A and B are shown apart, each in its own frame.
Chain A
Amino acid sequence: MSDWPLWEVFVRARRGVSHVHVGSLHAPDAEMALRNARDLYTRRQEGVSVWVVPASAISASSPDERDSFFDPAADKVYRHPTFYDVPEGVEHL
């Protein structure tokens, strides 16, 4: 069983929303991973679309470098629309 790779499972609950990670499972190949994900994660109408991705194909950010990795968003205040002054009376902007 240890030969069977790990797959991460993403389910889209309905039309118009994005796929959300729901869990993982072991399966010998993508087809079995999809079938098992269907049985395991959509038994109660949780979704209408399933993605399976080999866990080995995912690269994750490291919690150690979290501050340096994610900080720029906070100090670049000009990225936010509220940074800009709008003259009185201008609508639909």
Chain B
Amino acid sequence: MYGNDFGTPSDDPGRGAATDAPEGFDELLATEGRVEPRDAMPEAYRKTLIRQIAQHAHSEIIGMQPEGNWISRAPSLRRKAILMAKVQDEAGHGLYLYAAAETLGVDRADLLDQLHDGRQKYSSIFNYPTLTWADMGAIGWLVDGAAIVNQVPLCRCSYGPYARAMVRVCKEESFHQRQGFEILHTLSNGTEAQKAMAQDAVDRYWLPSLMMFGPPDDDSPNSAQSMAWGIKRFSNDDLRQRFVDMTVPQAEVLGLSLPDDAIAWNDETGHYDFSPIDFTELFEVIKGNGPCNQQRMAHRTGAHNDGAWAREAASAYAAKQAARLVAVA
């Protein structure tokens, strides 16, 4: 659902990276543009990618919770089937991404341990609660919309396995965005109560969606290096602006307003102006102090611990079957 190099500005494993590039790496980036798993690469490039891809994967997995919250309460069988398909996609996106991370020489189980004990993060957006059915629409339209703006450039990321995973993810993401838009469109053209519910969801998810693009460019320590390495193609602020430009006209079609009076077309820049964002909240959420951080992690670690016996059973069964095959042969 979402990938960016999110973290507090103090997390900074990529620094000093440019100096340790193995021979031929810079040339490889300049000519072939794609790095593959067995190529030599700077240790900091590898570490930054592991962190970014793993946190992207974690986001997909944690991101199933806010929407999973409404599966049993979806208002119609059609909406319910769609929501289940979407949550299934998120699980798949998580798996594609863990697989991409593993090509860098890490183990998925270790990455999950790092998520569980807080050493790795997931997208800030999933620490917000889903209070009404309309939130399923706002998440699809705004959150997945922001994810698409962010992820389409990642399809050209310099690390081949990540780029290929993103191609697959992006295809499925546009289904998510459209179904979210449709939910809001239906609500917005429904009863007054339904329209009010849609507006409320948009009001609550607008700013958190804008913050998904990460801190502003002058407060984003890893961005310059990531752009030099071709991991990142556009700056946080550029992507955020692109998202606003795309979303404002869509809001007009929906007949819903965005909760920012400063939004106005600017003829000079050719973009929509919008209010400066207070990023204090973003850093608080990333630090673990958002509305749902504890709940999300408790649910995730609970599922992991409660499922230990099932994983052990599957391993024991596989070992037994393998032993039988050997015995027969």
Q: Does B281 contact A (CB under 8 A)?
A: no
Q: Within the complex, which residue of A25, A28, A39, A40 is in contact with B318, where a contact is CB–CB below 8 Å?
A: A28
* A25 with B315: CB separation less than 8 A: no
Judge whether B260 is part of the interface by a CB distance below 8 angstroms. no
Chain B 308-322 residues near chain A, CB threshold 8 A: 311, 314-315, 317-318, 321-322
Query: Could you tell me the distance in whole angstroms from the C-beta of B190 to the nearest C-beta in chain A?
Result: 30
Hey, which bits of chain B sit against chain A, CB under 8 A? 36, 38-40, 88-89, 92, 95-96, 99, 102, 107-110, 112, 165, 168, 172, 311, 314-315, 317-318, 321-322
Contact partners of A26 in chain B: CB under 8 A: 108
Q: Decide: B99 and A25 in contact? CB cutoff 8 A.
A: yes
A14-B112 Cα distance, complex, nearest whole Å:
36
Q: How far is the CA of A20 from the CA of B74 in the complex (A)?
A: 38
Which of A1-9, A74-82, A83-91 faces chain B? A1-9
User: Which 8 A-B pairs give the minimum distances between C-beta atoms?
Assistant: A2-B109, A29-B318, A28-B318, A28-B314, A1-B109, A24-B99, A3-B315, A63-B39
Provide the residues of chain A in CB contact with B92, threshold 8 Å. Answer: 39-40, 43
Cβ–Cβ < 8 Å partners of B321 in chain A = 29
B113 → chain A, closest Cβ, in Å? Answer: 9
Q: Which residues from B are CB-within-8-Å of A23?
A: 96, 99, 165, 168
* Residues of chain B within 8 A of A60, CB atoms compared: 38
Contact, CB under 8 Å: B112 / A29: no
Residue interface bits A16-58, CB-to-B below 8 A is 1, else 0 = 0000000111101100100000011001100000000000000
Please indicate which of the listed interface residues B38, B112, B318 has the most CB atoms of chain A within 10 Å of its own CB: B318
Interface size class of A (residues with CB under 8 A): 20 to 34
Asked whether any CB of chain B lies closer than 8 Å to the CB of A62, the reply is yes
A40 and B60 alpha carbons, distance in the complex (Å): 14
A-B residue pairs in contact (CB < 8 Å), sample of 17: A1-B311, A2-B110, A3-B315, A23-B96, A23-B165, A23-B168, A25-B95, A26-B108, A29-B317, A29-B321, A32-B314, A39-B92, A43-B89, A43-B92, A60-B38, A63-B38, A63-B39
Expressed in whole angstroms, the minimum distance between the Cβ of A22 and any Cβ of chain B is 8
Question: In the bound complex, what is the Cα–Cα distance between A28 and B311 (angstroms)?
Answer: 8
The distance from the CB of B283 to the nearest CB of chain A, in whole angstroms, is 32
Q: Chain B's nearest CB lies how many Å from the CB of A43? A: 7
> B107 contacts A2, CB within 8 Å?
yes
Chain A residues contacting B95 (CB-CB under 8 Å) are 25, 40
* Residues of B close to A6: CB separation below 8 A: 99, 102
Residues of chain A contacted by B109 (CB below 8 angstroms): 1-2
| Complex alpha-carbon distance, A60 and B38, angstroms | 9
**How far is A23 from B103 in the complex, measured between Cα atoms in Å?**
11
Q: How far is the CB of A32 from chain B (nearest CB, A)?
A: 7
Q: Which of A44, A60, A62, A63 has the most CB of B within 10 A?
A: A63
CA distance A62 to B165 in the complex (A): 23
For the complex with contacts A2-B107, A24-B99, A63-B38, 4 further pairs of A-B residues with Cβ separation under 8 Å are: A1-B112, A1-B311, A29-B322, A64-B40
Please state if B36 and A63 are interface contacts (CB–CB under 8 Å). yes
B316's closest neighbor in chain A, by CB?
A28
Q: Which residues of B contact A29 (CB under 8 A)?
A: 314, 317-318, 321-322
Q: Which of A1, A32, A63 contacts B108 (CB 8 A)?
A: A1
Task: Tell me, in angstroms, the Cα distance from A30 to B194 when the chains sit together.
Answer: 49
Contact between chains at A24 and B112 (CB < 8 Å):
no
Chain A residue with the shortest CB-CB distance to B312: A3
Compute how far the CA of A1 lies from the CA of B318 in the bound complex, rounded to whole angstroms: 13
- The residue in chain A whose Cβ has the minimal distance to the Cβ of B304 is A1
| In contact, B96 and A28 (Cβ under 8 angstroms) | no
Interchain nearest-CB distance for B324 vs A (Å): 12
B314: chain A residues within 8 A (beta carbon): 4, 28-29, 32
Please report the C-alpha to C-alpha distance between residue A29 and residue B321 in the assembled complex, in whole angstroms.
Answer: 9
| Residue contact A4 to B165, C-beta cutoff 8 Å | no
